[in-house]
Chains A and B, each alone.
Chain A
Amino acid sequence: MPAYRPPHIAASEITPRDIYISRRNFMGAAAGAGLAFAGADSAFAAPLSAKPSAFKLDETLTPKEAVTTYNNFYEFGVNKEDPAANSGDFKPTPWSVKVDGMVGKPKEFGLEELMKMSLEDRTYRMRCVEGWSMVIPWIGFPLSALLDQVEPLGSAKYVAFETVVRPEEMPGQKGFFQPLPWPYIEGLRLDEARHPLAILAVGLYGETLPNPNGAPIRLVVPWKYGFKSIKSIVKISLVEKQPETTWKNANAREYGFYSNVNPAVDHPRWSQATEQRIGEGGFFGANRRPTLPFNGYADQVASLYDGLDLKANY
């Protein structure tokens, strides 16, 4: 398998922090002025700094208000505005993530320890399986850094993830009409999980993760549809067999285990050829853009799938 080579980016090309912070403030103020509710700022969100990384994009960032108020997080309700509206009671601290299964050193990581990992700024595209997309400045660390600490055994082939279950704090997890079985579960092949692009995010836009975005810690796998990037993780297990995943269990014909972004493989009910970039264009100027294979990360990740039929393994 060819080795992954991170893109080389000259130091001169990396925007200094004070410049992007000032742009961020300007954008925030501009977006905030036109908004009735900016209730997305979680009570727990705190400033968070990280070192710059080579992973950035020459694309307009999706406004923070959009990133934090237009979400799919069914634990808080099925509508896009529900996570922002219903996550006020959710307590992302204290928190711990249990890592177990086929590992030499199983361990429960406290959030403080995870926040001390070597945090990086990672700006990624996010493509939802529903046909919309965002550009989000995450803060996080490579998932491989965590996996290295627990020393996966040779027999481990997959990584399984689990979201917290707290019906008292997550209104979508109680009541008669629950859209999905809980806990929400996801999974990756071990080589996918170890890919340098796969991160555990603990912040966005220079702050700790807001509740609607999966506080306090979530997965971000930018070449896969958004639902793969599981939120509010409490458990990570190294396993031998391909783990079950929530949406595949709900509808295997529509949502596969891989769920790599692929404009050539339509969802059975809609096309995946194009996407609507959230926050761009407004009412009359909305304009769909072409979706890129592997969400634009083909150079980095396509080799993971050499010899795999991507139409059959959607």
Chain B
Amino acid sequence: MASLPSLPRRYHKASVWALYVIGLVPAAWYFYLGLTGGLGFNPVKEFEHQLGIWALRFIIATLAITSLRDLAGINWIRYRRALGLIAFYYVLMHFSVYLTLDLRFDFGAVGGDITKRPYITIGFACLLMLIPLAVTSNNWSIRKLAQGWNRLHRLIYIIAAGGALHYVLAVKSVTLVPFIHIGLIALLLAYRAVRRPFMNWKRANNKPAKPVASQRARQNG
């Protein structure tokens, strides 16, 4: 199985903080471009779209963590919380730009959009569902909620599917870029559906061949 050079433990915490900084670079970059006239002739829409696309990218990255560990043996679980929270920040910024720069606090129009336009209804529902996940993304909540935390955080599957649908419904025609994003989300969600039988099969197949390695894996896991 593939293995990457592992990061010394003493850098783990710093690498997570670095991820938060790097993760917010695209937003800062597009904001800078917007301020300096670099986003073309419809800068608000462009900024709004970029924030939405980056939100999807971080949701994809969040979902990819488990699959990477199962299928490629790369354990980046320590970055999953940061990726999920960055995704939430992008969704929040995406909505804020729509509310402020685009519709200029026209709450009537926002309300109309949310109730009448399915893609905005779905997008807004995803934002609401992300809030409990963001609020409970800390060690204290994990301890407090115990098994409930796992159940609650399965919401991310619905949010990812909803985000993909929101994107499909928002574009005039599904071209290459939307297709790639939606395809990745579909693959990652499909993997979740087959994950349990797949992992059982993998364990069953590994056992007779390498009993020692398998036992060690289970102890560590």
Contact = CB atoms under 8 A, between A and B. Distances in A.
Q: Do A and B bind each other?
A: yes
Interface of A: 34-36, 65-66, 69-70, 78, 80-81, 130, 132, 177, 179-180, 250, 266, 269-271, 276, 278-279, 282-284, 286-288
B42 A276 contact: yes
B173 A282 contact: no
B173 A179 contact: yes
Given A78-B173, A269-B170, A36 B38 contact: yes
Question: What size tier do the contact residues of chain B reach?
Answer: 20 to 34
28 contacts: A36-B38, A65-B41, A66-B41, A69-B40, A70-B40, A70-B41, A80-B42, A132-B42, A132-B45, A177-B176, A179-B175, A266-B116, A269-B117, A269-B118, A269-B169, A270-B113, A270-B117, A271-B109, A271-B112, A271-B113, A271-B117, A279-B41, A283-B35, A283-B39, A283-B44, A286-B43, A286-B102, A287-B104
Given A283-B35, A283-B37, A286-B44, 4 more contacts: A250-B173, A269-B117, A276-B45, A288-B103
A286 B98 CA distance: 12
B111 to A, nearest CB: 12
Name, among A78, A250, A271, A279, the residue most crowded by chain B CB atoms within 10 Å (CB to CB): A78
Contacts of A177: 175-176, 179
Contacts of A81: 40
A78 B175 contact: yes
**Interface SS of chain B: helix, strand, loop or mixed?**
helix
A132 B38 CA distance: 19
Interface in B31-67: 34-35, 37-45, 47
B89 interface: no
Given A78-B175, A179-B175, A269-B169, A282 B42 contact: no
A284 B179 CA distance: 31
Contacts of B102: 286
Interface string B164-184: 000001101101100100000
B101 interface: yes
B119 interface: yes
Name, among B34, B37, B44, B170, the residue most crowded by chain A CB atoms within 10 Å (CB to CB): B44
Sort A-B residue pairs by CB-CB distance and give the 8 closest, nearest first: A66-B41, A70-B41, A283-B34, A177-B176, A179-B173, A286-B44, A78-B175, A278-B41
A130 B43 contact: no
B210 to A, nearest CB: 42
B43 A283 contact: yes
Given A283-B35, A283-B101, A130 B172 contact: yes
B173 A180 contact: yes
A103 to B, nearest CB: 34
Contacts of A269: 117-119, 169-170
A196 B39 CA distance: 37
